[in-house]
Amino acid sequence: MLEGVVPFPPDFARRYREKGYWQDRSLAEEFAAVFDRFKQPIFLVDQNREYTYGEIDRLTDNLALNLLELGLKPLDRVVPTLPNVAEFVLLYFALQKIGAIPIAALVTHRYAEISQFVNISGAAACVYPERQGDFEFEPMIRRVQQENASLRLCISLNQLSGLIERKPHLPVAELQKIRIDPTDPCIFQLSGGTTGIPKLIPRTHNDYAYNSKTAAPVCGVTRDSVLLLALPIAHNLPLACPGIQGYFFNGGEVVLSPTTKPDQMFSLIEKHRVTHIKVVPALLIRLIDDPSIRKFDLSSLKVIQSGGQRMQPEVRVRTKELIPSAIVQENFGMSEGMLFFVRLDDPSEVMLETCGRPISPDDEVRLVDDEGREVGPGEVGELTCRGPYTLRGYYSVPEYNARAFTRDGFYCSGDLMRRHPSGNYVVEGRKKDLINRGGEKISAEEIENLILSHPAVQNVACVPVPDPSLGERMCACVVLRKGRSLNLPQLVDFLMKKEIAKFKLPERLEIVDELPVSTFGKVSKKALAEMAARNANH
């Protein structure tokens, strides 16, 4: 097993195998069985490009062999920062055939994030587009390479396309020689951790395959299903819950959208007779508020799967009025593993009020108080959980793991929930110091540490303020040094020079004389958030 990965305890691993959750097959073996079953159906659509199952198999053999020839090997870590393009999917499949481990970076990440991912993981390769908007990747990636001796390969999107098409020198038999341990990671997902340093989530071949296979029937995925993906496809939800993997295992089709513009998404739904889409509430609100929604035939839609943050009931009601054929299916998930889904046959009031219930019979959930004691029925407590696809530890951070997991292996999520009388669960907030901007989790501490380095700032606390479309936006509450001044454009300009992802930038600034403290002497972010929300309404 890769050093730094926390294994499942032997008695739990044995139980998961005996119950058939874990098949002890690598994703490469799982995928090979699907390629044997399906050849001609279309699996992937990217604008004017269509790929059958057979073509995906052939092209990913090509790419895997060419990557082997470049020196990539099993367990090497790879950081792809690609948009929603077919090349991402082909790279993901090819890396699984080698047994290399992708790290689920986003195209919006910049130097601050990419350098951390490479440094923490000891990554051997980065794959990146030449440009995204006005940002040029090559200089940034080369800078990361100069600072990290492990980073041997820097592959642009154009070069990746060439490696996909180029006839390899190595025979396909080389891939059959590779032995992959199914208890090793097949991907590192990223945590929305509260500290400035990201945590890598090792998802094993065993648990990730089970994750997708178990989520698919809960979402009504069949051979006739067509999924439209506009959310970033490296995220856990679009990739595997059931996501690209779940539709692949069932012989379905995946259509990639390069944009979240409503009219273009509607056009793709109509053209490809899309049955399923994945959204965060902010995106769904944008879709149903767009006047062009009435110009397209959206009657093929069956399931609108929503995750990332709690959705208001009125959004679901309005969606049903505009798209009567579709069910809005709420889910609550985490890259760490545990998935809750509303079932498609749940009563309507349960669908409106809850985020669902776990998908595996062996998912274990405890809601606990601050002392770690289970709360009573209907009471709010912190979600702690364990199960056959929930991690037992973040990668190579034993001290942090000692705090993030109970002694008996329950992951302490920081999310507050209560159990609904139906047996489903309701999200009631969180303990962790995170801001949830349209489903992207931002560490307040990370941004506070950067703001504190501004010469005008004496102290700062970042808090969420409610937003009707994104759920939350970040407000920086700043105490200034004597005689200094600061406005929001100046603060944003300062933070941009720190080379962080744009979605992490504060969108409000409150100048305060002092930061309020609780009775325990800690900064009261609750009081600051209430103050910021009041000021926003004036």
d(CA 536, CA 436): 18
193 CA to centre of own chain: 13
Concatenating the DSSP letter of every residue in 98-122 gives HT-EEB---TT--HHHHHHHHHHHT
Q: Any idea which of 37-51, 99-113, 191-205, 417-431 has the lowest mean pLDDT?
A: 191-205
What burial class does residue 423 get, using C-beta atoms within 10 Å of its C-beta: 0-12 exposed, 13-18 middle, 19+ buried?
exposed
Q: What is the pLDDT of residue 471?
A: 86
User: How far is Cα 64 from Cα 491, in angstroms, rounded to an integer?
Assistant: 45
pLDDT at 455 over 60: yes
DSSP one-letter code for 243: H
Token readout for 500 is 């962080």
pLDDT digits (tens, 9 = 90+) for 168-181: 999 999 999 999 99
Q: What pTM was computed for the model? A: 0.88
Q: What is the rounded CA–CA span in Å between residue 217 and residue 57?
A: 24
Q: What is the CATH number of domain 27-35+49-180?
A: 3.40.50.980
Model confidence over 308-326: pLDDT tens digits? Answer: 878 888 889 999 999 999 9
Question: In 10 A of CB 376, how many CB atoms?
Answer: 11
| Domain ranges, ordered by start, for the chain | 27-35+49-180, 434-536
pLDDT of 362 > 90? The answer is yes
3-class DSSP state of 401:
helix
How confident is residue 457, by pLDDT bands cut at 50, 70 and 90?
A: very high
DSSP state letter for 402? H
Give the pLDDT band of residue 533 (cuts 50, 70, 90).
confident
Asked whether residue 519 carries a pLDDT value surpassing 60, the answer given is no
pLDDT at 500: 94
pLDDT attached to residue 485: 95
d(CA 339, CA 355): 10
More confident residue, 1 or 388: 388
According to the model, what pLDDT value does residue 194 have?
53
Give, in degrees to the nearest 5, the angle at Cα 480 between 478 and 482: 165
Return the ∠ at Cα 278 (arms to 275 and 281), rounded to 5°. Answer: 130
State the chain's mean pLDDT as an integer: 94
Could you say which of 3.40.50.200, 3.30.300.30, 3.40.50.2300, 3.40.640.10 is the CATH number of the domain covering 434-536?
A: 3.30.300.30
Report yes or no: 418 and 378 within 8 Å, Cβ to Cβ: yes
**Bridge partner list, 357:** 341
Contact 272, 255 (CB under 8 A): yes
pLDDT at 53: 98
**In the predicted structure, residue 193 carries a pLDDT above the cut 80:** no
How many other C-beta atoms lie within 10 A of the C-beta of residue 321?
A: 9
| Exposure string over 249-273, b if 16+ CB within 10 A, otherwise e | bbbbbbbbbeebebeebbebbbebe
538: confidence class by pLDDT, cuts 50, 70, 90: low
pLDDT at 305 over 70: yes
- How do residues 371-385 score in pLDDT, each as one tens digit? 999 999 999 999 999
Radius of gyration from C-alpha coordinates of the chain: 23
Residue 151, pLDDT score: 98
Higher-confidence position of 525 and 483: 483
**Could you please report the per-residue DSSP string of 483-519?**
T----HHHHHHHHHTTT--GGGS-SEEEE-SS--B-T
- What mean pLDDT do residues 508-531 have? 82
- Hey, what are 249's tokens? 């295992």
Report the pLDDT averaged over residues 29-46. 97
- Measure the CA–CA gap between 127 and 113, rounded to whole angstroms: 14
> Tens digits of per-residue pLDDT, 237-279?
999 999 999 999 999 999 999 999 999 999 999 999 999 999 9
pLDDT band at 441 (very low <50, low <70, confident <90, very high): confident
Q: How far is it, in rounded angstroms, from Cα 268 to Cα 81?
A: 24
**Tens digits of per-residue pLDDT, 115-162?**
999 999 999 999 999 999 999 999 999 999 999 999 999 999 999 999
> Above 60 in pLDDT, residue 434?
yes
pLDDT of residue 518: 61
Report helix, strand or coil for 247. helix
Q: What is the pLDDT of residue 310?
A: 80
Name the percent of the chain lying above pLDDT 90. 84
Mean pLDDT of 488-508: 95
The pLDDT assigned to 458 comes to 87
